[in-house]
Amino acid sequence: MNIVLLGAPGAGKGTQALRMEERYKLRHISTGDIFRHHMRVQTDIGNLARSYIKKGQLVPDEVTFAIVSGALDEAGRENFLLDGFPRNLAQAEKLDEFARIDKVIDIDVDFSVLTDRICGRRSCMECGYTAHVSDLPDGTCPKCGSEMHQRIDDREETVRSRLDVYARQTAPLIDYYEKKGVLVRVSGMGSPDEVFAEIRKVLG
Ligand code: AMP
């Protein structure tokens, strides 16, 4: 099964992707995670990506696609879960030439809750766990005890630009995949368990 997860920043794609990866034994490919890894170890790609990410803009398609095609090849172009890719029409068309997509799950969340979700999000640099700051009494990771950080692009000044990029460039993909007959929508307004239960209904 080859799956794409769609949804605005803060919709909960990463949280659901971790559960789906485990439950369905899929190769989780998160372009955001790959870019953050490159930024941490300061590769040329990481340094380039940082200049876009900190402004809330998309990293250029050629760079992003090179990363995705490499990861897809490693997965044998089967049984993958794409999280954060594609993010515009050009990427979706390129992906279609490269691999078969069986299902696209759109996690649908009211725009009004996104800013608080994103600005309040804290991420663990060690294990990748994320939580809202209001659920972290001492600022350490409940999973591994490391310090939780705010991503450079989760700050309020950047979030507006990310949501704008989503509305203009990524949201049209809902239509694109609906026309192909592979789109399913789930509500992302419930708890992570509730959202995952909806996804399981769709995927079995
Ligand atoms: P994410 O963790 O998916 O929210 O991604 C964080 C940031 O990485 C995005 O705001 C973009 O700057 C960059 N990024 C992630 N995926 C893509 C993509 N498919 N195309 C271009 N830029 C991306």
pLDDT at residue 129 in the model: 87
Judge whether 100 counts as a catalytic residue.
Answer: no
Domain membership of residue 132 (yes or no) is: no
Domain membership of residue 79 (yes or no) is: yes
Could you tell me the sign of the dihedral formed by the alpha carbons of 61, 66, 67, 71, in that order? Answer: positive
Residue-by-residue DSSP string for 169-200 = IITHHHHHHHHHT-EEEEE-SS-HHHHHHHHH
Domain membership of residue 10 (yes or no) is: yes
Range of the domain at 190: 3-109+156-203
Domain membership of residue 39 (yes or no) is: yes
Domain membership of residue 168 (yes or no) is: yes
Distance 195 CA to ligand 1 centre (A): 22
Does 52 contact ligand 1 (Cβ within 6 A)?
yes
Distance 191 CA to ligand 1 centre (A): 24
Domain membership of residue 59 (yes or no) is: yes
Domain membership of residue 165 (yes or no) is: yes
pLDDT at residue 199 in the model: 98
Q: Count of domains in the chain?
A: 1
Domain membership of residue 130 (yes or no) is: no
Distance 138 CA to ligand 1 centre (A): 29
Stretches in the chain below the pLDDT threshold 70: none
pLDDT at residue 127 in the model: 87
Residue 102 sits in a domain whose CATH number is: 3.40.50.300
